[in-house]
Amino acid sequence: MRGGRAYGATLAKDLVRVEVDSVTYAFEVARIREIVNPLPIIELPRERPFVLGVSDYREQVLVVVDLRRLFGLESQAESRRTKWIILEARGRLVGLVVDAVLDVFSSAENKQREVPLLDERHQERGITTAYRHHGQLVFLLDADRLAEPAMQIPSGEMPRLPSEAP
């Protein structure tokens, strides 16, 4: 027998595996508030192309960032598999659009690998490390780094949503 609580805690499923284009990424479960189907969006004029706009999420204004656009990929029409990863970062909620949510897995079961600096956009992608899961490389994303575009919108410039009308 492998020993109770301490062993079980180390094998807890702590990463959520997602897909953007044909690449598999992961987020730490602890950083995720919820995974939801896409909600209606209010587009912000003159916003950077990867910020889709804002949405009304549980009576809070949520900035929505499309990871495809942030990673320099072409936009893609929403499908049944498209999901929003709602993250808490620096006291704000941010929605990150992914092509699909695949599953959860344990980082303890998979040996961590260092990721080389590939190009000047490496930091934009927010990749911190990689794991091998089911024979495939999975790149762990830094939630704070990916939420930065949402943090650059001053709160005073956030539009009022229809649900907030006086």
pLDDT at 161 over 70: no
| 117 is a domain residue | yes
The helix or strand, by DSSP H or E, that contains position 123, with its residue range, turns out to be helix 122-125
* Domain total of the chain: 1
Interior/surface letters 144-164, b for 16+ CB within 10 angstroms, e for the rest: eebbbbbeebeeeeeeebeee
| 146 is a domain residue | yes
| 160 is a domain residue | no
State if pTM tops 0.75.
yes
| 166 is a domain residue | no
Q: How many CB atoms lie within 10 A of CB 113?
A: 14
CATH code for the domain of 45: 2.40.50.180
Residue 133 belongs to domain spanning: 4-153
- Taking only the tens place, the pLDDT of each residue in 100-146 is 999 999 888 767 777 766 655 555 567 888 888 888 899 999 888 88
